[in-house]
Structure 1
Amino acid sequence: MVNIVDTVELDPTILREYDIRGIVGHNFTPNVAMSLARAFGMEVVRAFGDNCTVVVGRDGRLSSTEISKSVIDGLVSTGVNVIDVGLGPTPLIYFGCYELSANAGIVVTGSHNPENYNGMKLVLDNKPFFGKDIQNLGLNLAENSVVETPGTVSEKDISDWYIDRLLYRNKIPSDIKVVWDPGNGSSGQIVSKMVSRMNGNHKVINSEIDGSFPNHHPDPTVRENLEQLAREVVEGNFDLGIAFDGDGDRIGVVDSLGRALWGDQLMILWAREILKNKPGSTIIADVKISQVLVDEVKTAGGELLIWKTGHSFIKKKMAEICSPLGGEMSGHIFFADQYYGFDDALYASIRLLGVLGDSGIPLADFLDSLPETFNTPEVRFECDDREKHSIVEKIKNKYMKNLKGTLIDIDGIRLETDKGWWVLRASNTQPAIVARCEAKSLKGLESIVNQLIKDLDEQGIDVSNSFNSS
């Protein structure tokens, strides 16, 4: 008999909107992870009864091996059987949940957070487990789990199986030249094996999995994290470079000139391809995307639905309306067209190379063809987790009193005016407020940025991390 009654003190701020993340050794410890996994295991048993199976995997952070063991201990204590697929990118574990017919999955990962963070991403019945479900895990920590027989643990390497699926019916041109940068994250080994089986000329940098991230932080939405990749592309005369975040579910791209393409720009290419075969489809994107994507999707014969930022929100909405494609500025890209519907940056990269091969248009030429806009990248302003939502709400209320333009409040604030638009929202993964602005002219952008900085400053936010146009 296994009887686990230990309780832990839980910092509620680690229970994010769509996953669990905290600082290792501070508010996210092996004991906390074990307790949360135990609570999740009980949820799985309640949903599916006895003899349930949960797939568990982990990223390459220095703490992930120990935390993964604690997660497995917590699960088996509830009678759940665990298939440990080991070290790999988050989409590998999602893939395992589908193909191993598992009832649920847990990925131990800190994603793109600093190296002293770690966390857990959860799926139940191949659906995102988030929001109130995650909050309820915290409420159920004190519930005792008593089982006569603990669950079993088996290990299974599914990496080759996963690569087979990534490359299934791929249309990668034979003459394409690509530099790949896994950023010393958990996709490094998979990427190296994958490109060895692909057409074209490929170079992989930073493939060694190292949780200290010695070369640069693995967040491809930050321009400086793409500088090494851009140099390799330009100096080696490659066609493009592709980067991944720490757990391989977010993509970043640079063209042959070393210029970054963001998630909303890349989505234009994928949307055009899909809408040729599925005209009238609805494409989903988060509130931070450019108006250019909205217009281009409409031109290609589709509709663009602006939705909440967050991989769980996008996946759920895609399933509800049968959307073939979803994406975020952050580089989370979701293909339900010919794929499972979860965010997989490696699969997105394969589809990108296929689109470029079919079109015959270099990526740099595509970027040059887009309408000119003046915009900022995503800018994150540090803000206490307990205050960030209320600050955004105060700024929203200010504009609602004398509204000039269109205000979308599905996730924070998106205010659209004749000059352009801006977004302000509380991050669901970090203690920060996120902003982005876009305008039709440089003068218009300066006006929007200056007003937004004033609004943030009035709320006591440090605005020294100023915007830069792109």
Structure 2
Amino acid sequence: MNPQVFREYDIRGVVGRDLDEEFVRRFARAMGAYWVERRVKRVSIGMDARLSSPVFRDILKDGITKSGIDVYDLGLVPTPVMYYSLFRLDLDGGIQITGSHNPADNNGFKIALGKSTIYGGEILKIRDIMERGATAEGSGSACDYDIVPEYIDDVLSRIGACPRRLKIIIDPGNGVGGRTAMEIYSRMGMDVKGICLEPDGTFPNHHPDPTTAEGVEMLKRQVLQDKAHLGIGFDGDADRIGVIDSRGKPVYGDMITTILACEILKKRPGEKIIGEVKCSRVFFDEVRRCGGVPIMARVGHSPMKARLHEENAALAGEMSGHIFFNDRWYGFDDAVYAGARLLEILSAQQDPQAVFDSLPKMHNTPEIRIDCPDEIKFKVVKEFAEYARSISDECVDIDGVRFTRDGSWGLVRPSNTQPVIVLRFEAETDEDLSRIERDTRGYLDGIIRDLS
């Protein structure tokens, strides 16, 4: 058993090498033991479109019901729909089978206990149960349950009137977000066109990640060709959103969150709004200007969700496109719902593009991922953080290191889901941006060479 598959927020690996049927059988029995120990009686299972997902789903159902737990099989659904089932059906837990935005040969499991996803030490407890071979015995039942119509109706019941009919393009990247997004946005009165709609776990058109240039290139072309007001992209399991404006420019998750936050603060001044260490300075400045209390948190959908409830914040968002609403929604990250809330705002404007144009401008990079083996990535970041403290005006080390120098800032942090180190940079001029990125990458390359 490869210990590297037990990651900070989920279990994830390469199918056939890390995750095979025997692994999933052991995992299913371990989940049964984990849940029974915590008095779990009823759970849901959802899955994304990856080729291995149906087989993994069947193995999970068998192992979990043999532990005495009842299973609601949701079928092919976005991860947020599995989260929704926890509230709608008042379940005790759930599993989403998904490789998220990882390559097509990956798959994995996002796990809920109660109404929240588990992470960190709780993931390692499941690994420990698997290693010990502990099981629980019982006789649970399994049933199929199509919750999607209820989810769609609930989303629409929480969205206000949309005065203008906008032309929009959606791209779920051959993942599982197309069905819900097409129906919800159409019923909101939008003129919706979809590309890459058919769920296909080989992802034949492009990688399902709307935060990368390659992941939104088709969407960008379609927006410009059709003269659409905007494009909305989703990752493979539709818990992350990316946006292309009418000029073909990407709008990252931190700026989407900024727009949503400023609208919420019109009605709820003084609310806490959470961003993470990759977010632009603009996010923190604008939340403060609009009367909110900005909070910087560590990256990750599970810790962000926990922090949202801990702070009782109205909204939380990540640059990666995970956006969590504690305002007119249940507090989990949901890209299709986030898109609906954004369309609600834009449709009320005479010029929707002006909403994007009005955001203060900084020169920044997208999220940059450099390859670094899992075995050394944390050591690399730790060594770089020591260097950053010696050259910076300010350092924040809650998640990797975010360092500020002469008005520019950079971030170096180890990914918790992939063998990469994540970087981002922002400055007031292109020249300053190039300098901080060049200096940082040069120093990092040296550390990686030394430790490899």
The TM-score normalised by the length of structure 2 is: 0.96
Q: Report the Cα distance in structure 1 between the residues aligned to 2:350 and 2:262, rounded to whole angstroms.
A: 14
Tell me the residue number matched to 2:126.
137
Output the amino acid matched with 1:443.
Answer: E
Shift of 1:372: 2.3
Query: Matched residues in 2 for 1:266 and 1:195: separation?
Result: 17
Alignment of 1:48-447 (within 5 A): 48=39, 52-141=41-130, 142-147=132-137, 149-171=138-160, 172-362=162-352, 364-400=353-389, 402-447=390-435
Deviation sequence 1:147-194 (CA, Å, 0-9, x none): 2x3211111011111111111142333421111111100112222333
Identity of aligned pairs, percent? 42
**In the aligned structure 1, how far is the partner of 2:134 from the partner of 2:191?**
56
In the alignment, structure 2 segments of 5+ residues that lack a partner are: none
The match for 1:27 is 18
Task: Give the unaligned 5+ runs of structure 1.
Answer: 1-9, 463-470
SS at structure 2 position matched to 1:381: strand
Q: Structure 1 CA distance, aligned partners of 2:396 and 2:89?
A: 40
Provide the C-alpha distance between the structure 2 equivalents of 1:399 and 1:356, rounded to a whole number of angstroms: 40
Alpha-carbon contact 1:189-1:209 (below 8 Å) kept: no
Q: For residues 291-345 of structure 1, give each alpha carbon's deviation from its aligned partner in whole angstroms, at most 9, with x where no partner exists.
A: 0111000000011111110000100001101011001000000001010000000
- Normalised to the residue count of structure 1, the TM-score between the two structures is 0.93
69-78 vs 314-323, greater mean Cα deviation = 69-78
Moved more, 174-183 or 327-336: 174-183
Q: Distance in 2 between matches of 1:260 and 1:271?
A: 19
Aligned length: 448
Q: In the alignment, residue 445 of structure 2 is paired with which amino acid?
A: D
Separation (CA, whole Å) in 2 of partners of 1:224 and 1:206: 14
Tell me the distance in 2 between the aligned counterparts of 1:246 and 1:192.
16
What secondary structure sits across from 1:112 in the alignment?
coil
- Supply the distance in 1 between the matched residues of 2:203 and 2:339 (Cα, whole angstroms): 22
Deviations 1:390-418 (CA, angstroms, capped at 9, x unpaired): 11001112233x25311000000000122
Alpha-carbon distance in structure 2 between the residues aligned to 1:296 and 1:275? 11
Query: Quick one: distance in 2 between partners of 1:225 and 1:252?
Result: 9
CA distance in 2, matches of 1:139, 1:390: 25
Distance 2:8 2:304 in 1: 13
| C-alpha deviation, 1:198, in angstroms | 2.7
Does structure 2 conserve the Cα–Cα contact (< 8 Å) formed by 1:180 and 1:205? yes
Q: Is the 8 A contact 2:32 2:136 kept in 1?
A: no
Which one has the bigger helix percentage? 2
The alpha-carbon distance between structure 1 residues 173 and 203, as it changes in their structure 2 partners (threshold 3 A), is: farther
- Given the superposition, is the C-alpha separation of residues 152 and 238 from structure 1 closer, same or farther in structure 2, using an over 3 Å criterion? same
Q: In the aligned structure 1, how far is the partner of 2:27 from the partner of 2:145?
A: 24
